[in-house]
Chain A
Amino acid sequence: MIKFLFQRTIGMAVTMFFVSIMVFIIMELPPGDYAERWAFRKFSGTGTEITEADIDNIRAEFGLDKPAPERYLKWIGGIILHGDFGEAFAFQTSVNIVIGQKIWLTLTILFSTLIVTYLISIPVGMYAAIRRNSIEDYTLTVFSYLGFALPNFLLALILLYVSITYFDSTVGGLFSPEYADAPWSIEKALDLLSHLIIPAIVLAWSATAFQLQTVRATMLDEINNLSVTAARARGVPEWKLLIKYPARLAINPVVSTMSFDANRIFSELPIVALVLGLPELGELLLKSYLDLDMFVAGAILLILTFMIVFMNFLSDIALAILDPRVKLIEG
């Protein structure tokens, strides 16, 4: 197990190394260079004349005259050693401050969505498998297909409309106006939770539908497995049988696709966030592209990919704990 953990950690580090290089290349892609854009930002509208020399000075100040590998090392070194993601020139402040809050909100949305997804899909999928071909099972199938078929923004709009008209709630944004600038308190946390319900439902629906069908199918396969009959023939009670054998195995495919779910949620988040007025990273990412604010874009890209790679790492470990065959094959 220690060897396995070690291998996976190395694997994750290598992946992140390549990801960081790709992100760095993306940051370098826009025309012109950072110094010109920075100078343009800083002095535009001030009437100051910018000369080549000024730009060269800025370039030297930021170390932009150095070759790309050195700049890469400086950038990644700052991140790894000091957690410093660089300057966000569009905001005239550091990247950390610009994305700081939004990253926590994005992660909160991500994890609440994942929790909703698994809390519903795993037990309900198992139930559907046990009651196969019952009315409940068919109803769940219909709901699942609705989840696949309805575009998220439409779902978001519908839920927004319903909750505003019928529940008279302020669903847009993450906080009610009275809490927006208030210090953290239990009430504020509850207010945040109530605002998370709709985005979590919207984002979780299709992931839930997908995982529910996966759990149901695996469970059905496993229920008919000879090893289950063998356990039944040993006199194991039915409920214990279902939990110990098919249910245990039905979790595996869900665990192994956790990072896909995270990925899907990240890519669906911006549209839903736009409709629901949520401040999150996806929107900021788009904006930073438009502003050519590449350190912001780079930081967001790096953090989001790291989240997905890290979830992949976690699911690998969870899977190795759940299924002893995994270690034997790969370890």
Chain B
Amino acid sequence: MTSTTNETINGPDLLDVKDLKISFKTDEGIITAVDGINFSVKRGQTLGIVGESGSGKSVSTWSIMRLLPKNSIIDKSSSIQFHRKDGKKVEITRLKPNGRELREIRGGEVALIFQEPMSSFSPVYTIGNQIIEAVLQHRNVSKDEAKEIAIDMLDKVGISNPRQRFKQFPFELSGGMRQRAMIAVALSMNPSLLIADEPTTSLDVTIQAQILKLMRDLQQDLGMAIIFITHNLGVIAQVADEVEVMYLGKILERGTAKEIIHRSQHPYTQALLKAIPQLDSTGERLTAISGDIPSPLSRPAGCPFHTRCEKVMPGICDVEMPNPTQLSDTHTVYCFLHEEKDV
């Protein structure tokens, strides 16, 4: 897929995910969390993933680092291809669990930051200890050198007094500081891909804007690719080159940030856009789309969104999943409203 409308989406692939299907064995039965999705991330670019709670954003991206719990199953036909720094292509799904190559990739080439910066640090070790741990894991340096790298990184993410902070415990920092520290840990190894799983959701709006700016700046400096996960299409507009819209384990629409924000074609995307939280509210969960999200245990047949869709066409939408419709080189929608036009 080459782009003529937006050259920012050009560039060599870093990550190629094909037919990713992930389910969980639970006491109530098998839950399908991600249902055959495809996406790719290009070097130095930002892929935004939006969708309501439970749409599979975390599950699909954590699988890139094989961080899912033991009761998860990645389907045999799924493929996650990652291009390592040394140029080698690895099939992540075939790697030995917790084996050496996977551990090299974790932290060293793909890093992860979470929504909750408090619980992503262990309370009983200092911030410095947890950064050094990452550095020592991946680089052949002494403890003192690792410490200098860590302090450097804390400085880079805009933490004042980094030498002092280095010795502090996570609970001695404010929420915004902790998220900066989390970013410092993640970037201390200069990864080629950063997965940011709702990194600003728990922060208030001003801090949120600071963190977003920091991430953009660091991306320019370090040239890494980012997968940015959020509920909030308003945030996506500020950070992403390409956006995919997920719902109940499926991708329903994909396009450049412009296309998704200004020319969205899927009723679900349009509903999400209407529900963008006001600027003064802190990125709270979306509630504005009417109807309940179906339980993942009883996924609706056909298009998963048809139970809540304003434009649902009975007898069509509830029978089969629509095929992708290519609206431009970069813009794809999975919806019968558009498939019809093509026929």
* A residues at B contact (CB < 8 Å): 224-238, 244-245, 248-249, 322-325, 328
Chain B: residues with Cβ within 8 Å of the partner, total of: 32
For the complex of A and B, list the 3 residue pairs with the smallest distance between their C-beta atoms, beginning with the closest.
A235-B107, A234-B107, A235-B106
Per the bound structure, the CA–CA distance linking A324 and B133 in Å amounts to: 19
Q: Which of A225, A227, A231, A233 has the most CB of B within 10 A?
A: A233
Taking A227-B119, A233-B65, A328-B171 as contacts, is the C-beta distance between A248 and B133 under 8 angstroms? no
Per the bound structure, the CA–CA distance linking A244 and B112 in Å amounts to: 20
- Which listed residue, A226, A236, A325, touches B169 by the CB 8 Å rule? A325
Asked if A230 and B120 make an inter-chain contact with CB atoms under 8 angstroms apart, the answer reads yes
**A324–chain B nearest beta-carbon distance, Å:** 5
Taking A238-B98, A328-B171 as contacts, is the C-beta distance between A233 and B116 under 8 angstroms? no
Asked if A235 and B108 make an inter-chain contact with CB atoms under 8 angstroms apart, the answer reads yes
Per the bound structure, the CA–CA distance linking A226 and B111 in Å amounts to: 14
Per the bound structure, the CA–CA distance linking A328 and B112 in Å amounts to: 30
- Which listed residue, A226, A234, A249, touches B124 by the CB 8 Å rule? A249
Per the bound structure, the CA–CA distance linking A278 and B65 in Å amounts to: 59
The interface bits of chain B over 107-136 (1 if a CB of A lies within 8 angstroms of the residue's CB, else 0) are: 110011010100111111100001001100
In the complex, which residues of chain B have a beta carbon less than 8 angstroms from the beta carbon of A234?
106-107, 111, 130, 133-134, 137, 185, 189
**B140–chain A nearest beta-carbon distance, Å:** 14
Interface of A, secondary structure class, is helix
Q: Can you give 27 A-B contacts (C-beta < 8 A)?
A: A224-B69, A225-B119, A225-B122, A226-B119, A227-B119, A227-B120, A230-B121, A230-B185, A231-B130, A232-B106, A233-B112, A234-B106, A234-B133, A234-B185, A234-B189, A235-B104, A235-B105, A235-B137, A236-B107, A236-B134, A236-B137, A238-B98, A244-B133, A248-B124, A249-B124, A322-B124, A325-B123
Asked if B134 and A232 make an inter-chain contact with CB atoms under 8 angstroms apart, the answer reads no
Asked if A235 and B119 make an inter-chain contact with CB atoms under 8 angstroms apart, the answer reads no
Asked if A324 and B123 make an inter-chain contact with CB atoms under 8 angstroms apart, the answer reads yes
Taking A226-B114, A248-B124, A324-B169 as contacts, is the C-beta distance between A233 and B119 under 8 angstroms? no
> How many contacts A-B (CB < 8 Å)?
76
Per the bound structure, the CA–CA distance linking A249 and B124 in Å amounts to: 8
Asked if B122 and A233 make an inter-chain contact with CB atoms under 8 angstroms apart, the answer reads no
Per the bound structure, the CA–CA distance linking A225 and B125 in Å amounts to: 15
The interface bits of chain B over 91-112 (1 if a CB of A lies within 8 angstroms of the residue's CB, else 0) are: 0000000100001111110011
Given pairs A231-B133, A244-B133, 20 additional interface contacts (CB within 8 A): A224-B69, A225-B119, A226-B116, A227-B121, A227-B123, A230-B112, A231-B130, A233-B65, A234-B111, A234-B137, A235-B107, A235-B137, A236-B133, A236-B137, A237-B98, A244-B125, A249-B124, A322-B124, A323-B123, A325-B169
**B100–chain A nearest beta-carbon distance, Å:** 9
- Which listed residue, A232, A233, A324, touches B111 by the CB 8 Å rule? A233
